[in-house]
């Protein structure tokens, strides 16, 4: 397996440190800054969004998991075990993102409008042991009361009330998680509501959604414990022609009602880059949630890689000096490859992009911009692509005690042989 020994990593870092100092970047300070940034891993990558309700997993709602790699986590203990393995291969201290369907009810059926904090005590205790934070999401899909394609925007009062109560319970749980861990819990609302073909009345469902959200958010919690957010989507499977919770709807709602907006990288037109939206939103809001995903031709939630879209995102956050305002959560699911490999690829790619953004000599770009010399600005952007970022990344991994280069794959291969292969 490809690897660079420790001595060469340290030598390369010292050389990179000198090079970056010549463009005004202190790499030691950047390494310190990296420790302050915590990304949130999607627990649903480990079990294909099946959850612990006893069902077969996804039954609609505009999302789809493909593949059948052996070793899917079948319960909370296995999922936490797999997450621990993934976290051990990712530098820094991070978070885990839960969906409501990961409640552990002791083999007793508890419907989603009745879940409570007690059903997440194992997750809380595990988070305490590992000194990490938890985030939360109500689950508005894979349920018989979501089969019509409408939940919070349903015209059926019984169905709508069920989902409103689920949203209320989820906020109650998220607030309790944040309080118990002493780390603010992000509670993100995404619903799959929409229409496969052209609707005759778009407005009515949006009015209903607004009223439902108002009721869910009517209870006020301490913001140090919970950050509420709402997430839009362009289209989904079964909602190709109309999504009730569009970007414009949620942006207006968020600004008017003091909740955070969530931008998912896969929830916009393929030619649309969400990096440009960040400064616009932060002009009016102090909080923003980003779901880092990778859409391939559609919102396919591919595993995140270090591509141009990810780099544009992190560089824009850095240029806005907004890493203290922007929460970053990964959102992908792939069962066609080893699930732990997927977690680690996505997390390491995101952290690499963050580090590259912190190492970018933005001050030199701004100097040329303020002079009006846009040719120089563009030239410097190109030249900065050749700076020795990888040497700083290897040093960060080494200092944090995680495998450097591709040597982490050996750890996963052993884990697959010793643990995953024994799951039926």
The residues of the chain scoring below 70 in pLDDT are: 1-2, 56-62
Task: Give the chain's end-to-end CA distance (angstroms, integer).
Answer: 29
- How many angstroms separate the CA atoms of 76 and 123, rounded? 8
Catalytic residues: 190, 231, 233, 264, 267, 291, 299, 301, 331
Question: What pLDDT sits at residue 337?
Answer: 98
Same domain, 155 and 112: yes
89: its two tokens: 């291969």
- How many angstroms separate the CA atoms of 374 and 278, rounded? 22
Is 46 part of a structural domain of the chain?
A: yes
Same domain, 5 and 74: no
Average pLDDT in the chain? 96
Is 31 part of a structural domain of the chain?
A: no
Same domain, 379 and 264: no
Question: What pLDDT sits at residue 5?
Answer: 87
Last residue of a domain, one of 312, 329, 359: 359
- How many angstroms separate the CA atoms of 332 and 303, rounded? 6
DSSP secondary structure of 185-214: EEEEE----EESS--S-HHHHHHHHHHHHH
Is 244 part of a structural domain of the chain?
A: yes
Is 190 part of a structural domain of the chain?
A: yes
With beta carbons less than 8 A apart as the criterion, state whether 260 and 227 touch.
Answer: yes
Same domain, 4 and 142: no
Question: What pLDDT sits at residue 60?
Answer: 60
Same domain, 352 and 372: no
Last residue of a domain, one of 338, 359, 380: 359
Estimate the crossing angle of helix 76-87 against helix 121-130, to 10 degrees. 20
- How many angstroms separate the CA atoms of 261 and 285, rounded? 9
- Assign 118 to helix, strand or coil: helix
Closest CA to 396 of 339, 343, 356: 356
Is 32 part of a structural domain of the chain?
A: no
Question: What pLDDT sits at residue 59?
Answer: 62
- Assign 152 to helix, strand or coil: coil
Same domain, 259 and 396: no
- Assign 104 to helix, strand or coil: coil
Q: Count of domains in the chain?
A: 2
Last residue of a domain, one of 359, 380, 403: 359
- How many angstroms separate the CA atoms of 82 and 88, rounded? 10
Domain harbouring 193, CATH code: 3.20.20.150
2: its two tokens: 């490809």
Same domain, 355 and 367: no
Same domain, 412 and 269: no
In degrees rounded to 5, what are phi and psi of residue 343?
A: -55, -50
Closest CA to 39 of 373, 208, 291, 405: 291
- Assign 364 to helix, strand or coil: helix
Is 33 part of a structural domain of the chain?
A: no
Residue 318 has a CB neighbour count (10 Å cut-off) of 20
Using DSSP bridges, classify how beta strands 242-243 and 194-195 pair: parallel, antiparallel or unpaired.
Answer: antiparallel
What secondary structure letter does DSSP report for 294?
A: B
301: its two tokens: 């939630």
Is 424 part of a structural domain of the chain?
A: no
- How many angstroms separate the CA atoms of 115 and 373, rounded? 59
With beta carbons less than 8 A apart as the criterion, state whether 406 and 390 touch.
Answer: no
57: its two tokens: 């997993």
- How many angstroms separate the CA atoms of 53 and 41, rounded? 21
Beta strands in 78-146 (DSSP E): 95-99, 133-137
Same domain, 92 and 124: yes
DSSP secondary structure of 9-24: HHHHHHHHHHHHHTTT
Same domain, 399 and 295: no
**Model pTM score:** 0.96
Same domain, 142 and 191: yes
Same domain, 1 and 117: no
Is 294 part of a structural domain of the chain?
A: yes
Residue 133: which domain range?
38-359
């Amino acid at each position: 397996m490809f690897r660079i020994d420790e001595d060469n990593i340290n030598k390369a870092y010292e050389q990179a440190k000198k090079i970056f100092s010549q463009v005004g970047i202190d790499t030691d300070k950047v390494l310190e800054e990296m420790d302050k940034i915590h990304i949130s891993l999607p627990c649903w990558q480990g079990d294909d969004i099946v959850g612990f309700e006893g069902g077969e997993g996804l039954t609609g709602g505009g999302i789809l998991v493909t593949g059948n790699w052996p070793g899917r986590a079948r319960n909370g203990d296995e999922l936490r075990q797999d997450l621990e393995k993934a976290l051990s291969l990712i530098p820094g201290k991070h978070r885990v993102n839960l969906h409501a369907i990961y409640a552990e009810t002791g083999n007793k059926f508890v419907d989603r409008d009745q879940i409570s904090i007690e059903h997440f005590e194992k997750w809380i205790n595990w988070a305490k042991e590992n000194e990490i934070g938890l985030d939360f999401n109500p689950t508005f899909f894979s349920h018989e009361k979501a089969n019509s394609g409408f939940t919070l925007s349903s015209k059926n009062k019984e169905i709508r009330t069920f989902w409103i109560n689920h949203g209320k319970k989820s906020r109650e749980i998220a607030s309790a998680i944040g309080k118990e861990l002493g780390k603010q819990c992000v509670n993100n609302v995404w619903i799959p509501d929409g229409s496969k073909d052209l609707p005759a009345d778009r407005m009515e469902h949006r009015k209903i959604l607004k009223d439902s959200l108002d009721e869910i958010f009517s209870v006020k919690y301490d913001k140090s414990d919970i950050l509420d957010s709402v997430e839009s989507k362009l289209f989904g499977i079964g909602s190709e022609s109309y999504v009730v919770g569009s970007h414009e709807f949620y942006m207006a709602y968020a600004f008017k009602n003091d909740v955070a907006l969530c931008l998912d990288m896969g929830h916009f037109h393929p030619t649309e880059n969400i990096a440009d939206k960040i400064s616009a939103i932060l002009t009016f809001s102090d909080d923003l949630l980003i779901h880092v995903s990778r859409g391939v031709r559609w919102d396919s939630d591919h595993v995140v890689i270090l591509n141009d879209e990810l780099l544009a995102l992190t560089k824009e956050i850095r240029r806005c000096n907004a890493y203290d305002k922007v929460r970053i959560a990964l959102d992908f699911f792939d069962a066609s490859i080893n699930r732990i490999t997927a977690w680690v690829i996505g997390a390491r790619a995101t952290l690499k992009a963050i580090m590259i953004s912190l190492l970018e000599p933005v001050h030199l770009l701004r100097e040329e911009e303020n002079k009006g010399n846009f040719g120089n600005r563009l030239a410097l952007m190109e030249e900065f692509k050749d700076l020795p970022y990888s040497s700083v990344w290897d040093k960060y991994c080494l200092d944090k005690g995680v495998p450097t280069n591709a040597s982490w794959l050996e750890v996963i291969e052993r884990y697959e042989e010793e643990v995953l292969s024994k799951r039926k």
